[in-house]
Structure 1
Amino acid sequence: MIVRDLVISIIGLGYVGMPIAVAFAKKVKVIGFDINIAKVELYKAGIDPTREVGNEIIKNTSVEFTSDETKLREARFHIVAVPTPVYDDHTPDLSPVEGASRVLGKNLEKGSIVVFESTVYPGVTEDICVPILEKESGLKCGVDFFVGYSPERINPGDKVHRLETIIKIVSGMDAQTLDTVAMVYELVVEAGVYRAPSIKVAEAAKVIENSQRDINIAFMNELSIIFNKLGISTKEVLDAASTKWNFLKFSPGLVGGHCIGVDPYYLTYKAEQLGYHSQIILSGRRINDDMGRYVAENVVKKLISVGSPVKGAKVLVLGFTFKENCPDTRNTKVIDIINELREYGIEPMVCDPVADSQEAEYLYGISFVSRQSIKKVNAVIVAVAHNEFLTYGIRELDSFFACDTEKVVIDVKSILNRNEFEQAGYCYWSL
């Protein structure tokens, strides 16, 4: 395979696939495929619904955006970047990657290389995806086509750690495939590539990256519960501890999204199949999955402490996305706070200037309110650390409350100045 004459297809044009397509299009011809016709039409119109690279770049990219699967036949190097969610019972939902494999298999040409980027447990690429590709194409893996795995490491909303600046793990089914996969990614990854010795090693490396982060955040969340009982600030404790050179700087918070809150379940699912029941990983998951309820309970406690009625209380939630400065609301844990408050007879108002409002309405039935319409609330929950919210001080929050109201502020991410708000008479609480 001659890299300079390469035609690459990207299957899946979401927060991961679209930036990959744009990056490669600067070097080679790229076909960007997605089954979501509406999304493809937005890209064709120069609109970036993910806000990962921006409208201007989308307008000027040479990526050929399409929903026509037969266009995949023009490429000989395919990158599959579809989501890998979990079902309600926390077992892996492989239907997106299986579906992508079926579509690609129907349009796979001899001599092709298929690289999967979707986060999976070790064995999925070779044991699940390859048989689908073979069945649909009628071709033989290792003879007519070849496979590799290169886990995505893109961090949605992060303008510093991008595809080009993060070392890329690459792997292949054999040495020659690995060489080709490495050369292709080296076209765009300035930080270089790391050659994993096998596909399973690369799959495992990805799934433990987020599992490790999940466990560390769970530890911080457990500490926040303890420190709140002690009546001391978690942030102040972490600031003090962080002065030691080898202290790991993690913070408590809601753990949602498509990676940290999902990937550990892929690993523990595979472990269960092998007869091992996870202890540390699942313990961390239980703590993190319960934080929405914990935050809501403390909202209710603070309302009671200032003499505000609970049932029918006006509670404002600032931020609804799964992380800051990213429009994605899928698998947001803010909904857990809202659902728990509803159990107490509270129907919160939600304001998020960054979130995809149509997505929130479709997935959760949540309609956002404008900042200008917010008046006379009993409590404000700052749930997501969007840049806009980082600028909020006493004046901004005062405008949400009635003048004679005891003001309750729940600062989930500890982005407000605690001393300033307490001195101003606020009832302040944070993780």
Structure 2
Amino acid sequence: MSDIPQITIVGLGYVGLPLAINLAKYYRVTGFDIDEDRIKKLKEGYDKTGEVTSQDLRNSTLHLTSRQEELHDHDIHIVTVPTPVDSNNQPDLTPVRKASETVGTVLKPGNIIVYESTVYPGVTEDICGPILAEISGLECGKDFFLGYSPERINPGDREHTVDRITKVVAGQTNDVAERLRKIYGTMNNGNIFLAKDIKTAEAAKVIENAQRDINIAFVNEIAVIFQNLGISVYDVLEAAGTKWNFLNFQPGLVGGHCIGVDPYYLAHCAKSFGHDPKVILSGRSTNEAMSDAVSNAIHLALKRKTPDIKSPKTLIMGLTFKEDVPDLRNTKVTDIISALTLLGHQVEVHDPMADPVEAEKFFNITLKTSLESEEPYDCIIGAVPHAGYLELTNSSIEQLVKPNGLIADMKGMWRKRDFTSSFSYWCL
């Protein structure tokens, strides 16, 4: 391998594209994705994820392709494909397996294959390594080598970008680990933590999001308890947060491609050797139940104000899994929509960040193009605190709602507002 390696990034989503752009500042990098339309749009300077600007795309030396034959002369292949769960919440390693097969066709002696996808300990060496060896005809650990560097992308976060965070790195051998330390360290000023081995690095990643899931589950549970006591959990958290070591977690729906998924990978691993992961799955169960808890609470709040209401017209504001990002993967707002529909609500949805084509394709939801309506709603629900919703004036919000209607605020984004007395206001 040359001192200045040629690098492949396999998968150009939220993780792969920012990594590719940053590494391309120092190395010859090829970004590969099987989605030809994705490659076409990126070449035109458009990133639908919003993680990379048009200017950065156009100024980058990154080579983009959907043709795997263009990867033959590369030295290092970094796999950044998603790791979802199936309908039974079991790890779905299909994308990682397919990516490994693709890389296997272009491997040559001396290559290093690094995985950034979130997996449970053992996947890189026990599943991916053998696939690479079988496809390439080369021997793992002798002809080619494995590495692992867990992704830490937080969609929409402009502070903790890949070039500003600590990067955990592990290699199959000490030489590989040092090689990867140098490569990754080039883009983030050497801010590298060298993990003991690949399994340790895999484990570190999978517990990062499992820990957050458990902490959010605690806050969600107390939110439900306080609802029954007539107390806002946001008021409670504001008071408790004055203690120096209180952990500042917020209640809400836990969706997206990481926190709502990764704990199932850890649970699957635990069950494989007979351990019952009670705490991990309890957190998952609590967070999965939050959609129904919120939907029922909103429905009851509306019924208290207008007991005889039938088939209320309801507007949900926000569909993406978190604020100010277009990512619809594993959004739990769809569960709110389903629950309210079962309760008799006529639900309409607005989200300026979401892709209307994706909303229709994946969820059969037709997004409203504006907040305007022929007649006011019985209930509006602030589900995702996009900046545009935070900036709405009281008057703009009240105009959306009928007199005696309900303004439901799932994330407490309007809790400091004083709405006129003709409206009911509800938040967790």
Alignment partner of 1:238 is 2:255: no
Give the equivalent residue in structure 1 for 2:369: 370
1:338 aligns with 2:349: no
Aligned residue type for 2:278: Q
Residue equivalent to 2:125: 126
Letter of the 2:390 partner, please give it: L
> 2: distance between equivalents of 1:123 and 1:98?
14
User: Deviation digits for residues 381-408 of structure 1, max 9, x if unmatched?
Assistant: 1011111111123112112123xx2121
Matching residue's letter, 2:348: M
Residue 53 of structure 1 corresponds to which residue in structure 2? 52
Distance 2:406 2:127 in 1: 51
| Structure 1 residues 232 and 95: CA distance shift in structure 2, 3 A | same
Structure 2 Cα separation of the partners of residues 185 and 13 of structure 1:
17
2:417 counterpart of 1:430: no
Q: Residues 308 and 355 (structure 1 numbering): CA distance in 2 closer, same or farther, change over 3 Å? A: farther
- Counterpart secondary structure, 1:163: coil
| 1:378 alignment partner AA | D
Alpha-carbon separation, structure 1, partners of 2:380 and 2:407:
5
CA contact (8 A) 2:182 2:190 kept: no
The Cα of 1:305 is off from its aligned counterpart by 1.0
**Which position in structure 2 is the counterpart of 1:35?**
34
Q: Return the alpha-carbon distance in structure 1 between the equivalents of residues 309 and 165 of structure 2.
A: 47
What stretches of structure 2 of length at least 5 have no aligned partner? none
Is the contact between residue 118 and residue 150 of structure 2 (CA under 8 Å) also seen in structure 1?
A: yes
Give the Cα–Cα distance (whole angstroms) in 1 for the partners of residues 184 and 278 of structure 2. Answer: 37
- How does 1:339-418 map onto structure 2 within 5 Å? 339-374=338-373, 375-402=375-402, 405-418=403-416
Contact 1:311–1:344 (CA<8 Å) still a contact in 2? no
Structure 1 alignment gaps of length 5 or more: none
Trace 1:113-262 onto structure 2 (pairs within 5 A): 113-190=112-189, 192-262=191-261
Asked if structure 2 preserves the Cα contact closer than 8 Å seen for 1:418 and 1:428, the reply is no
* In structure 1, C-alpha distance between the alignment counterparts of 2:174 and 2:188, rounded to whole Å: 20
- 2-structure distance, mates of 1:61, 1:70: 22
Q: CA deviation at 1:130?
A: 0.4
TM-score, with normalisation over the residues of structure 1?
0.97
CA displacement 1:118-164 (0-9 Å, x = unmatched): 00000000000000000111111111110100000011110111101
Matched to 1:57, the amino acid is D
Contact 1:9–1:77 (CA under 8 A) maintained in structure 2: yes
How many residues of Structure 1 are paired with residues of Structure 2 in the alignment?
Answer: 427
Q: Which amino acid aligns with 2:339?
A: E
User: How far did 1:312 drift?
Assistant: 2.5
**Secondary structure of 2:260's aligned partner:** coil
CA distance in 2, matches of 1:191, 1:307: 61
Q: How far apart are 1:225 and its partner, in Å?
A: 0.5
Q: Deviations over 1:189-218 (max 9, x none)?
A: 236010000100000000000000000000
- Answer with 367-376 or 130-139: which moved more: 367-376
Cα separation, 2, equivalents of 1:391 and 1:415: 10
Residues 39-60 of structure 1, C-alpha deviation per residue, up to 9 Å, x if partnerless?
A: 1110011111110012221122
- Aligned partners of 2:416 and 2:113: how far apart in 1? 52
Could you report, residue by residue, the CA deviation over 1:241-298 in whole angstroms, capped at 9, with x for unpaired residues? 1111000000101100010000000000010011001111111100100111111111
Q: In the superposition, relative to structure 1, how do residues 316 and 190 fare at CA in structure 2: closer, same or farther (>3 Å)?
A: farther
CA contact (8 A) 1:146 1:177 kept: yes
* Residue aligned with 2:22, SS: helix
Deviations 1:158-181 (A, max 9, x none): 011110111000000110000001
Q: Deviations over 1:14-57 (max 9, x none)?
A: 01101001111111111000011111110011111110012221
Task: Give me the whole-angstrom Cα distance separating, in 2, the residues matched to 1:85 and 1:318.
Answer: 26
Q: 1:372 to 1:216 in 2, by over 3 A?
A: closer
* Secondary structure of 2:222 counterpart: helix
AA aligned to 1:28 is Y
- Cα distance, 1:418 vs structure 2: 4.6
Q: What TM-score, normalized to structure 2?
A: 0.97
* Counterpart residue identity of residue 426, structure 1: F
